Structure 1
Amino acid sequence: MTRTTTLGGTASDIVVGKVAHGLMLMTWKQDPVPDEQCFEAIKAGIDTLPPGAKMLLVAGEFYGHNLSTTNLEMIARFFEKYPSYADKAFLSVKGGLAPNSYHPDCSPANLRRSVETINEKLRGTKRLDLFESARVDPNVPIEVSIAALAELKNEGKLDHIGMSECSAASLRRGNAIHPISVVEIEISPWSCEEETKNVIATANELGIAVAGYAPLGRGFLTGQIKRFEDLPEGDFRRTLPRFQEDVMRHNFAIVDALSDIAKKKNVTSAQLSIAWVGALGPHVIPLPGSSHAKRTLENCAGGDIELTQEELDEINRVIDTADIQGGRYATAATLWG
């Protein structure tokens, strides 16, 4: 039976699978993945769940080529074709960027625009279960942004509020205005900074679920990306510092070490990473992305793997001694907001 956990804040009665499903790379490309392939990948994960549990699906207002709403339009087509799956999914959507921009604008006016755009694109096929600003806006106090979302919630435009890529201090401030149900941060064996641990601990204290995005190191920890040329033209990972040719060979040492542990455990490297992220706490939900049903099933199975204390110690030794080069993003301006 697939393992489950609960969300936090106002969604603490919602039971979800221990592993969530990120939908970004289905559409954040010039040629989106065909609908049927996306639909089968989404259904595969939901179908693993016990009755009453939901799959946490994470989408984005701007997860399309040139920041278009392609992701939401695909999701609307999915729920239009498979309406019975609407109640089996908990849909979290990132928004809050200035139109046609990568810069956050979490002013009340833009948050209203963002939430209304999301609902318009979903066309009534699915409730906006949770909205989260993709980044913390340095120009708008977090208290103002969360209060604006609470107002939109009271108007019935969304059901729960999340935060993303925020510091532990910002999470505490936001939660003081309105209970936060999910906080989304990057967590993987090659992305577990001191602030990562602070957010996880603060979320635990406040009763907030943590969705750990990129638990596979954006695919690097699977061992299938060995050289810069392995990334397709136009792939956004080509812009990330730790995927550059001069550091990839160096960074591959952690992949080899984790692969050895995975082989001994008779699991895939991806499953080992997912199991490790999930072991950081009962409130921590690994959030890998997948556009293939087979990969979705592999990821979900990773949430069912139990790691012994000896195995955790071995993995943590690898992480502690790894000298990862290159930052998570090209600019750190809006990280840990």
Structure 2
Amino acid sequence: MQTRTLGSHGPRVSALGLGCMGMSAFYGAHDDAESIATIHHALERGLTLLDTADMYGPHTNEVLLGKALKGRREQAFVATKFGIVLDPNDPAARGINGRPAYVHAACDASLKRLGIDTIDLYYQHRVDPGVPIEETVGAMAELIAAGKVRYLGLSEASGATLERACTVHPIAALQSEFSLWTRDPQTNGMLAACRKLGVSLVAYSPLGRGFLTGAIRSPDDFDADDYRRGSPRFIGDNFARNLQLVEQVKTLAADKGCSPAQLALAWVLAQGDDVLAIPGTRRRSRLDENLGALDVRLGAAELKAIDAVFPPDAASGSRYVEAGMRMVNA
């Protein structure tokens, strides 16, 4: 397993992690037994970075991961997140809470669900515009002092917010969507800020929410309750235009002798040793395919060819609906 350092002075973790969200939420039907088997298989293959959040389920994904970690805690580097608050009466409604008292309460609840004593990496899932980032990170730092958390992270924070956060306590990782069809960290200053401050970038949805695998051919491929049915890039003309881009990725992958998913992941990892990726999957077979990306080496000419097919503004449609986009790069 290839490893990378998390932040300037953080631990070594697997370059590819496992995003666990889809095991419990948002992507339709799931099988807990296969999900747990997939987590166990990941640990056996040397993958250490496991990513979840309290709002996945909500809560059930942390419980699932906790079950999978029984007797295996020492093999895993556990990352979870707080801050997105769901309305029990309206599943589509989202709020953000970064108040210090909530930070402490959310951490205690996550520890209980996970069944562990310490969270390895604790992220603020979204920046609360009503609470200065210094106050939120100050509360997160108190969790480290209490032995409940080892390292701190932010998710979808702007470079300016990240810089302010780092004046309070070192931030090991900034999580953001980053892939061939979401190049925002390269264009909005986020990646540059990470490098200035010694913060690793952890790319979520590095496979474009499954689209870059080439396995999705029609919106009808999604379950009725799959949130992608209403996501801008997966509907109408946007879907058709993005599918044409994926066809070109498939051609590039065939020329390289790898799968489209492996090419897409190799591209993310080739963006720098300070970039990690956490593709999500619910099946062992897909996990093994993803790990095959570690054997794919892309030279300068190949990266240039990929960029020609998938420049930063190539994807059609925003990555979230309007309300979701207001919560990113804050």
Give the distance between the partners of 1:198 and 1:137, measured in 2 at CA: 20
Partner of 1:7: 6
User: 2:147: which partner in 1?
Assistant: 156
Structure 2 distance, partners of 1:110, 1:197, is 29
Task: Tell me what 1:78 maps to.
Answer: 68
CA contact (8 A) 2:20 2:52 kept: yes
**Is the counterpart of residue 198 in structure 1 residue 189 in structure 2?**
yes
Q: 1:254 aligns with which of 245, 248, 257?
A: 245
C-alpha separation between the residues in 2 aligned to 1:272 and 1:143? 39
Q: What does 1:25-104 align with in structure 2 at a 5 Å threshold? A: 25-29=22-26, 33-49=30-46, 55-64=48-57, 68-80=58-70, 83=71, 85-98=72-85, 100=87, 102-104=94-96
Gaps in structure 2 of 5+ consecutive residues: 88-92
Q: Residues 3 and 304 of structure 1 are in contact (CA less than 8 Å); yes or no, is this contact kept in structure 2?
A: no
Q: 2 CA distance for matches of 1:119 and 1:321?
A: 38
Q: How far is the alpha carbon of 1:35 from its aligned partner?
A: 2.9
Distance 1:127 1:248, change over 3 A: same
* Mapping for residues 326-337 of structure 1, pairs under 5 Å: 326-331=317-322, 332-337=325-330
The offset of 1:110, in angstroms, is 1.4
Summarize deviations over 1:187-241 as a string: whole Å, max 9, x none. Answer: 1111002655622222122221111011110011111112211111111112211
1:321–1:20: structure 2 CA closer, same or farther, 3 Å change rule?
closer
| TM-score (norm: length of structure 1) | 0.91
Q: Is the 8 A contact 2:180 2:206 kept in 1?
A: yes
Q: 2:19 aligns with which of 6, 19, 22?
A: 22
Cα distance, 1:102 vs. partner?
2.1
Q: How far, CA to CA, are the matches of 2:73 and 2:188 in structure 1?
A: 33
For the structure 1 residues 17 and 196, does the alpha-carbon distance in structure 2 shift closer, same or farther, using more than 3 Å as the test? farther
Which of 87, 95, 104 lines up with 1:112 in the alignment? Answer: 104
The one-letter code matched in structure 1 to 2:136 is S
The change in CA–CA distance for 1:312 and 1:183 in structure 2 (over 3 A counts) is same
CA distance in 2, matches of 1:37, 1:260: 31
Secondary structure class of the residue paired with 2:327: coil
| Partners of 2:266 and 2:293 within 8 A in 1 | yes
Quote how far apart the aligned CAs of 1:304 are. Answer: 3.0
Say yes or no: does 1:175 pair with 2:172: no
CA distance in 2, matches of 1:196, 1:231: 31
In structure 2, distance between residues paired with 1:206 and 1:45: 31
Q: CA offset at residue 32 of structure 1?
A: 6.0
Where 1:60 maps in the other structure, the secondary structure is coil
**What is the aligned length?**
323
CA RMSD of aligned residues (A): 1.8
Return closer, same or farther for 1:4/1:260 CA change in 2, 3 Å cut-off: same
- Residue 261 of structure 1 deviates from its aligned partner by 0.5
Counterpart CA distance in 2 for 1:217 and 1:188 is: 6
Report the alpha carbon displacement of residue 36 of structure 1 after superposing the two structures with TM: 2.5
TM-aligned CA distance change 1:56 to 1:216, over 3 Å? same
| TM-score, length-scaled by structure 2 | 0.93
CA distance in structure 2 between the partners assigned to 1:151 and 1:286 by the alignment: 28
- Determine if contact 2:182/2:312 at 8 Å carries over to the other structure: no
Structure 1 residue 156 displacement after superposition: 1.6
| Higher mean C-alpha displacement, 14-23 vs 25-34 | 25-34
Map of 2:205 onto structure 1: 214
In structure 2, give the amino acid aligned to 1:60. A
Q: How far apart, in 1, do the equivalents of 2:113 and 2:8 lie?
A: 26
- Which moves more between the two structures, 204-213 or 189-198? 189-198
* Runs (5+) with no aligned partner, structure 1: none
Identity %: 32
Q: Which amino acid aligns with 2:196?
A: E
Residue 166 (structure 1) shift: 1.0
Residue deviations 1:307-327 (CA, integer Å, cap 9, x gap): 011110100111128632210
Q: Is the 8 A contact 1:73 1:122 kept in 2?
A: yes
CA distance in 2 between partners of 1:329 and 1:286 (Å): 20
